[in-house]
Amino acid sequence: MGIFSNILSKLGFGDDKQDVAAAAPAPAATAPAAAAPAAPQVQAISPVDVVAKLEALASANAETLNWKTSIVDLLKLLGLDSSLAARKELAGELHCPADKLADSAQMNIWLHKTVLQKLAANGGNIPADLL
């Protein structure tokens, strides 16, 4: 599993989908009329409130972490490796442009913005001011 997958997992992405996926085969295996209840379950999947989850983690953390602007602090808050090597690996996963990889500050800025954008693309509720 990659670093971005770990980020998704730590924030609870996919939890609802797994529950729905586990429930969906049962109605499909029974009578066709029983398949109808599966649709409301799929519609019941709500977006992940990333900010609320991160704020809750931040309030419980003894260290003051600026996760809204720092990829290092975001990774620390999630209990993930925030080392330069880990960030470079994450940058590779997310296809960071080569010119950004040469400068760790530029890479970090790009990573933070891209991670938040990818979280939003995967169903995360991210405010526009953080994107």
Q: How many domains does the chain have?
A: 1
Give the phi and the psi of residue 109 in degrees, each rounded to 5: -60, -45
pLDDT, tens only, 53-68: 999 999 998 899 999 9
- Does any domain span residue 105? yes
- Does any domain span residue 101? yes
| Cβ neighbours, 10 Å, residue 122 | 16
Please give the average per-residue pLDDT across 104-121, as a whole number.
95
Residue 24 burial class via C-beta count within 10 angstroms: exposed 0-12, middle 13-18, buried 19 and up = middle
Instruction: Write out the residue range of the structural domain in which residue 110 sits.
Output: 3-11+47-130
- Does any domain span residue 29? no
Q: Does the global pTM surpass 0.75?
A: no
- Does any domain span residue 38? no
> What does the alpha-carbon distance between residue 110 and residue 54 come to, in Å, rounded to a whole number?
20
- Does any domain span residue 21? no
